[in-house]
Amino acid sequence: MRKLGSVGVVAVAGSLLTLAIGAWTRQPPALAGATITGKVKFTGTKPVMPKIDMSEEPKCKAKYTAAPPTEETVVVNPNGTLANVFVYVKSGLPASYKAPAPSGPVTLDQDGCRYHPHAFGIMVGQNLAIKNSDGILHNIKAKGTKNRPFNISQPTTMTSTRTFSAPEVMVPLECNVHGWMHAWLGVLPHPFYGVSGADGSFSITGLPPGTYTVEAWHEKYGTQTATVTVSGSETKTADFSFAGK
Amino acid sequence: MTSRVMLCLTLFGAAGITPLTAHRLPLTAQDTVKGKAVYVKWCAGCHGDTGAGDGAAATAMLPRPRNFTGAVYKIRTTASGQLPTDADLMRAIDEGLPGSAMPAWKTRLSPAERRDVIAYIKTFSSFFADTSQHVVPLRFGKEPGGGVGAQAVKTGRLFYDSIGCRKCHGDQGRGDGPSAPTLKDDAGFPIFAADLHQSWRFRGGGGTEDIYRRLRTGLDGTPMPSFSDLIDQKFLTDEELWRLAQYVRSLSPAREPEVRDVIHAPQLGATLPASPNDTTWARVDRYWFPLVGQVIRKPRWFAPTVSGVWVQAVHNGRELALRLCWDDRTQSPDTAWLAFERRVLETVASDDSTPPVAGLWPDQVAVQFPRHIPDGMERPYFLMGTGTDPVYQWRWSSEPRKAVAGLARGLEQFDTLSAAPESRAVWDHGEWRVVFTRSLATPDTANELQFVAGRAIPVAFFAWDGSNGEHGSRLAASTWYFLALDQPTPPRVFISPVVAMALTLGLGFMVVWRAQRRAAGSRGTGAGT
């Protein structure tokens, strides 16, 4: 068990740090082109998210000192916007459009027995670095249907890397040890996607001129689309609004 | 077009498009048209016409039949997420998947039929036609020696704990871990963490190598992940993973338990082991009786969780003690499993007038005897007797925890008798152990079976797992077997040989003594002459 203990922790912490710095420094510069930005509003009754009982995992439970953790199916921001909405260009790019996958990975962190981020995008062929910061047993299962599904075990602090070969919106990710852990991954052949954040805004940059169908996807409230025409380096706004049921 | 021309075309096609590698059977040997005929005849009833795992019989099954459209397979030699090899598919068809409804087809279908049906099954998913999919079996090392040694098993146990197997499989491996009640497969159906004490029911085989392979590949489509990344990243050595496989293997009997018809109850000294954990039980032979779902009377039950009971019996000439042990991952009633129970009842077809409702049912077990030892082969109806020919039963329940005796007149009617057997029970990490004790003879000779040594006494068993929604006719049942109380050995068996030996010895001495006397007499005569 020594290997899984101190030696492993040190080795993995080191490699994670390297990875993290690598990912951070390798962020591509803002591309020239048009931008689509907007906010995702939320109307109606905000659903009450169930509290998560983490008593089986004291290490995770200890990370929530302010308030007990809740499920993240619907996260309504203080300004009345909806977080974790995946917004992406669904169609409108020329058939000849080709974008190479960035060399840096997208990192999914398992921290406090929750996924960070909860909804996110990746390009076909780009590395997904699946990181276990908790150091307790997680399994990460990707349940794609256009991509091959996989299920790998991470019983210690470690990082596993996988790629996705086909566009798919969305690939559900889950942990079966902790039934409340869910994340959603949008796999696209281009880099034109964003996720609504803590202020409900998103932004898609570097678009070539054209008329695009932009889709906003939410795990509970489904999808909405907007048609946006952009040219040059202009910025256009596309707001979306989801209603609580 | 002649078949020869067809064959040539196929050969060309095969050579042109598909790389012929060792793990892919040559397409020339496979025929999807013939494969479809085999599939429609033998497979579609469960797996469905379109391969979606939704055949007519599917709803009665848990686990459900494989849905071929996603090309996700549990039992593979390839990494998690990869397609299976043809040899993997052939193995599942040949051997079946133990512990599920999938039988072994090796002796029922010809080799050509099995090859053809594999080709057809692969047409249900576009993944198999996708040449960018790499189908490469993992390299599995050889099992290190010393697998049955205490040290190897101890090492394996260390890794069982350190990599978190207990989260689902439980501390002692009976599938009762804290995450077990939340488990679902990829289709959203409830799925049980495997009971590691019943290796003969492991889907991919119960050998150490099979277990090692499942650890490396995971069981895709289920919550069981692959542990290969741990080896690739050197958190674990290959040998350590083998030790874990050896530990898991050590939890089950060396061989699948053999079903023997007659339980022999040896006669012990004065006191019987009334406690389920009495060390005496370790010295008493145990008998395995498989149980199956009750599918004769409505409402039927297709998905029992108790796959069998281990039975031991002893007596002392006045009383009989019977110990039943069975694996049950839940100590029912247990609210932690209520949502799981609901999913089970929603998944498994029901044939009652109103759909079953999940409830906090207790675990139960019943031991059934005829009221009188039959003289011939005639026995009451095995499924709890009939209105005119009832059976005598002991019924134990976990809540309230007690046993009663009564007369069952079919599944619907149970009339409790005033005298009950004594019972003591423990639930220990997914196993119930219950001891029933009763006098061999009782005053109520009309209703209560009178146990007599040396006779073959019919006996049958029933079990209910409350957290699996089992109650009433939703139960697991055995057929009739026999209980035989060994007769005390009569004293003459021991005394007769001693007497015989003494007599022989005495006679021998006499013969020798007389011979010596005669010899001494003749010497004396000789000296005198």
Contact at 8 Å (CB) between B168 and B193? yes
Taking CA–CA distances from A177, the nearest residue in chain B reads B179
Compute the nearest-CA separation of A23 from chain B (Å). 20
A136 contacts B235? CB cut-off 8 A: no
A153 contacts B218? CB cut-off 8 A: yes
Sign of CA dihedral B300, B304, B306, B309: positive
Mean pLDDT of B233-257: 96
pLDDT digits (tens, 9 = 90+) for B486-500: 987 677 777 888 888
What is the pLDDT confidence band of residue B367, given thresholds at 50, 70 and 90? very high
User: Which site among B155, B158, B162, B191 would you substitute to test the A interface, given the most A Cβ atoms closer than 10 Å to its Cβ?
Assistant: B162
What is the pLDDT confidence band of residue B269, given thresholds at 50, 70 and 90? confident
User: Which site among A176, A181, A182 would you substitute to test the B interface, given the most B Cβ atoms closer than 10 Å to its Cβ?
Assistant: A176
Q: In angstroms, rounded to a whole number, what is the distance separating the alpha carbons of residues B314 and B310?
A: 14
A56 contacts B178? CB cut-off 8 A: yes
Q: Which residues contact B436 (CB under 8 A, 6 or more apart)?
A: B321, B322, B323, B324, B367, B394, B396, B403, B421, B422, B423
Determine if residue B276 is left, alpha or beta; phi over 0 gives left, psi from -120 to 50 gives alpha, anything else beta.
alpha
Cα angle B56, B60, B61 (rounded to 5 degrees) comes to: 105
Whether B114 shows a pLDDT value over 90: the answer reads yes
Whether A216 shows a pLDDT value over 50: the answer reads yes
A154 contacts B80? CB cut-off 8 A: no
Q: Which residues contact B230 (CB under 8 A, 6 or more apart)?
A: A153, A155, A156, A158, B163, B236, B241
- Nearest CB to A148; choose among B82, B159, B178: B82
Q: In angstroms, rounded to a whole number, what is the distance separating the alpha carbons of residues B417 and A201?
A: 73
Q: B118-122, B400-404, B425-429, B495-499: which has the minimum mean pLDDT? A: B495-499
Which tokens belong to A239? 């707001």
User: Does residue B72 belong to the interface with chain A, where contact is any CB pair within 8 Å?
Assistant: yes
Looking at residue B25, its pLDDT comes to: 52
Which tokens belong to A110? 């398992």
CA-wise closest residue to B35 among B111, B104, B97? B111
Whether B4 shows a pLDDT value over 50: the answer reads no
Looking at residue B525, its pLDDT comes to: 52
What is the pLDDT confidence band of residue B24, given thresholds at 50, 70 and 90? low
**Average per-residue pLDDT for chain B:** 92
Q: In angstroms, rounded to a whole number, what is the distance separating the alpha carbons of residues A106 and A122?
A: 7
Taking CA–CA distances from B182, the nearest residue in chain A reads A179
Q: In angstroms, rounded to a whole number, what is the distance separating the alpha carbons of residues A184 and B438?
A: 60
Q: With contacts defined as CB-CB under 8 Å, which chain A residues touch B166? A: none
User: Does residue B136 belong to the interface with chain A, where contact is any CB pair within 8 Å?
Assistant: no
Mean pLDDT of B361-372: 98
Q: Which residues contact A129 (CB under 8 A, 6 or more apart)?
A: A19, A23, A105, A106, A107, A108, A159, A160, A161
Whether A55 shows a pLDDT value over 90: the answer reads yes
B227 contacts A151? CB cut-off 8 A: no
Looking at residue A143, its pLDDT comes to: 97
User: Does residue B80 belong to the interface with chain A, where contact is any CB pair within 8 Å?
Assistant: yes
Q: With contacts defined as CB-CB under 8 Å, which chain A residues touch B340? A: none
Looking at residue B278, its pLDDT comes to: 97
Q: With contacts defined as CB-CB under 8 Å, which chain B residues touch A141? A: 223, 225
pTM for this prediction: 0.86
Whether B356 shows a pLDDT value over 80: the answer reads yes
Looking at residue B326, its pLDDT comes to: 98
Better pLDDT: B402 or A2:
B402
Better pLDDT: A94 or A32:
A94
Mean pLDDT of B67-84: 97
pLDDT digits (tens, 9 = 90+) for B168-214: 999 999 999 999 999 999 999 999 999 999 999 999 999 999 999 99
pLDDT digits (tens, 9 = 90+) for B407-433: 999 999 999 999 999 999 999 999 999
Burial B314-341, CB ≥16 within 10 A → b, else e: bbbeebbbbbbbbbbbbbbbbeebeebb
Mean pLDDT of B315-321: 97
CB neighbour class for A139 (10 Å; exposed up to 12, middle 13-18, buried from 19): buried
By percentage, how much of chain A surpasses pLDDT 70? Answer: 87
